[in-house]
Amino acid sequence: MMPRDLSAHEAYVPGRGAEEVARELGMDAAELTKLSSNENPRGPSPAAVAAVEDAAPAVNVYPKTSHTDLTDRLAATWDVTPEQVWVSPGADGALDYLSRAFLEPNDRVLTPTPGFAYYAMSARYHHGDVAEYTVSKADDFAQTAAAVLDAYDGERIVYVTTPHNPTGSVLPREELVELLDSVADHTLVVADEAYGEYAEEPSSIDLLSEFDNLAVTRTFSKAYGLAGLRIGYAVVPEAWADAYARVNTPFAANELACRAALAALDDDEHVEKTVETAAWAREYYREELDAPTWPSGGNFVLADVGDGTAVAEAAKRRGVIVRDTTSFGLPDCVRVSCGTREETRRAVDVLNDVIEDVTAGETRA
Ligand SMILES: *Cc1c(COP(=O)(O)O)cnc(C)c1O
């Protein structure tokens, strides 16, 4: 016996882990600078670590009040009702809940290319189909309502990412408003704000008071440094009432994750320092890398290095792991996460050497 036809499903290609690469190269993981998954180089908030330690002895019990407390806390933060907050295992979990709540078999979603792979994956898991709109390199990856609407054909869900992964570009608020105004009544626009904390622009969550065809996703994986705990959420229109209760996997957001998220929300200083570190690193990459880069609202920069695979491979052998963006459809580029100052300087030194070598090799060939 076999599973259903999975040929349209593509496996997620994650940034390589430091342990994994260390094993392959016979190096110590501590010697590696991992800048391939947009993780927080400052680690989690110490308050979140303490909360996990405190909660550990009680993990024999299903999470309940922690989930309620986190939901209430997020509702207060964003000035929405608790029913509007869908706490989930990572923002990826929230994307799944939206797919579950919206997609009938063969409903289509519209996703950005290049873009975050999980939108399409989630749609396919839920028997949906996928179409794409282009975030165009020729336009320096500018995001506009017109570019989305050009490809739009009445899809059930339209995904926008702001700041956009892997390019860093931001969808201006007036463009999002235009998109929300322009799509058909049955179309949900999902604004994925996984990197929202790093951007200058405010969240679009407040637009939920005007629009009932918008959902906003956020995560604790990036600025809050809790990627390993898998905790995120969506903020949705008030009218959806009890939909969450019908699509939520019971207890999927776990006790340690909910407790850590609550503690992290109280540690403003950690987030502020995180955002400061990223802003410094973005500038450093833009000024010091010997490759064109694009302005980024996230904790990473996309660099046009000519041959992304060759550069990422060579940098890895020198202990710096960056993301080859071939799987995003950008084979000429690498995406480099913002590290600490030391990591960021090391990454620039190694990348500049490697870019020179790879370019020289290609000229010879
Ligand atoms: C990292 C990321 C997410 C969510 O990550 P989780 O770890 O599942 O919370 C969502 N969207 C984009 C664009 C991301 O880069």
201-214 per-position pLDDT tens digit: 999 999 999 999 99
What letter does residue 162 receive in the DSSP assignment? S
- Closest C-alpha to ligand 1, atom 6: 90
User: What pLDDT was estimated at residue 93?
Assistant: 98
Pocket test for ligand 1, best of 96, 165, 300 (most atoms within 8 A of CB): 165
Q: Which domains does the chain have, with CATH numbers?
A: 18-43+268-364 (3.90.1150.10), 46-265 (3.40.640.10)
- Return the ligand 1 atom nearest residue 232 CA: 9
* CA atoms in the 13 A half-sphere facing the CB of 320: 25
Reply yes or no on whether the pLDDT at 236 is more than 70: yes
Say what the pTM is.
0.96
pLDDT in tens, 341-365: 999 999 999 999 999 998 887 666 5
**8 A C-beta contact, residue 176 and residue 208:** no
Question: Does residue 226 register a pLDDT over 60?
Answer: yes
pLDDT value at position 23?
87
Site residues for ligand 1, CB cut-off 6 Å: 90-92, 116, 161, 165, 192, 194, 219, 221-222, 227, 232
* pLDDT given at position 215: 98
Q: What percent of the chain has pLDDT over 70?
A: 98
Span 162-186, average pLDDT: 98
Closest CA to 222 of 326, 327, 170, 297: 297
Distances (CA, A) of 304 to 43, 270, 286, 292, 301: 28, 31, 11, 5, 10
Burial 263-278 (b: 16+ CB within 10 A, else e): bbbebeebbeebbebb
Mean pLDDT in residue range 333-339 = 98
Does the pLDDT at position 219 exceed 80?
yes
Convert the pLDDT of each residue in 62-102 to its tens digit.
999 999 999 999 999 999 999 999 999 999 999 999 999 99
Rounded to 5 degrees, what angle do the CA atoms 150, 11, 315 make? 90
Rg (CA), the chain: 20
DSSP for 235-278? E--GGGTTHHHHHSPTT-S-HHHHHHHHHHHH-HHHHHHHHHHH
Which residues fall within 8 angstroms of residue 114, CB to CB, at 6 or more apart?
Answer: 135, 166, 167, 325, 328, 329, 330
What is the whole-number distance in angstroms between the Cα of residue 91 and the centre of ligand 1?
6
Among 118, 159, 230, residue to substitute to test ligand 1 (most atoms within 8 Å of Cβ): 118
| Residue type (1 letter), 125 | Y
pLDDT digits (tens, 9 = 90+) for 11-44: 887 767 788 888 888 888 888 999 999 999 999 9
Measure 356 CA to ligand 1 centroid, in angstroms.
Answer: 32
- Looking at the DSSP bridge assignments, the partners of residue 88 are 232
Q: Taking residues 303-321, report their average pLDDT.
A: 96
Cα–Cα distance for residue pair 163/338, rounded to 1 Å: 14
Q: Whose CA is nearest to atom 4 of ligand 1?
A: 91
pLDDT at 222: 98
**Average predicted confidence (pLDDT) for the chain:** 95
CA of 87 to the centre of ligand 1 (A): 14
Share of the chain above pLDDT 90, in %: 89
Q: Which among 245, 219, 224 has a CA at the least distance from the CA of 83?
A: 245
Distance 1 CA to ligand 1 centre (A): 34
